[in-house]
Each structure stands twice: as structure tokens, then as C-alpha cells.
Amino acid sequence: MVLIHNVGSIGNISQVNDIWDINIWREFYDLNFFIPTVLNTVVMNTFNSKIIKKMVINITSLFGIQAVVGCGQYCSVKAAREMYFKVYIYIYIYVF
């Protein structure tokens, strides 16, 4: 079983300076972070057999490690996602 994460949206670039609007932050984190993390849990619980080999691939961009002017929300969510997938390796080894 192979699960490939390639979701990502920079969103409405006319709103990039609205860094005080919690709803815009929520939209970025819902799509780019929370949905992939929940999907991982659902898939691993569904295929919770040691017999079934599982592989999770996260396809991302430089925005997770390189700041870009006007893309604060997107860069921060990509950085959070990068760290999640690094930690996920350890969760997968010890939990699943």
C-alpha cells in the first residue's frame, strides 16, 4: 500500500497580507496540514496489519524550508508539515 501526499495550495494571493485573519490561517492549515495528517491515521488504522507493507510519500516544496515574501501562512504550514512527516516516521515505527 502506497499513500502519496501531494496536496497543497498557496490560496488566494490577494489575501497574503491578512496575517491577522484567523480564518485564512485555518484554511491554510486545514488543507495543507490537518487533512494529510488525519488521512495518514485513517489509512494506517484501516490497513493495521503487519503483513501489509505500507509506504507514505510526502511531496512538498521549498516553501517549507525557505521564506518567501508574502507567503507567510503557506511557508509556515509547509514547515509544520515537513516536521510532522519527520516525526511521523517514528510514530509509524513504534505505533503501527
Tell me the pLDDT band of 55, cut-offs 50, 70 and 90: confident
Structural domain count of the chain? 1
State the pLDDT confidence band at 95, using cuts at 50, 70 and 90. low
For 67-83, the pLDDT digits (tens) are 888 788 888 999 999 89
Distances (CA, A) of 17 to 9, 24, 67, 72, 81: 16, 10, 15, 8, 22
Residue with more model confidence, 96 or 56: 56
Torsion angle of the four alpha carbons 84, 89, 93, 96, in this order, in degrees rounded to the nearest 10: 50
Task: Judge whether residue 96 has pLDDT over 60.
Answer: no
Q: What is the pLDDT of residues 2-36, one digit of tens each?
A: 888 887 777 766 655 667 888 888 988 998 899 98
For 10, the domain range is 2-95
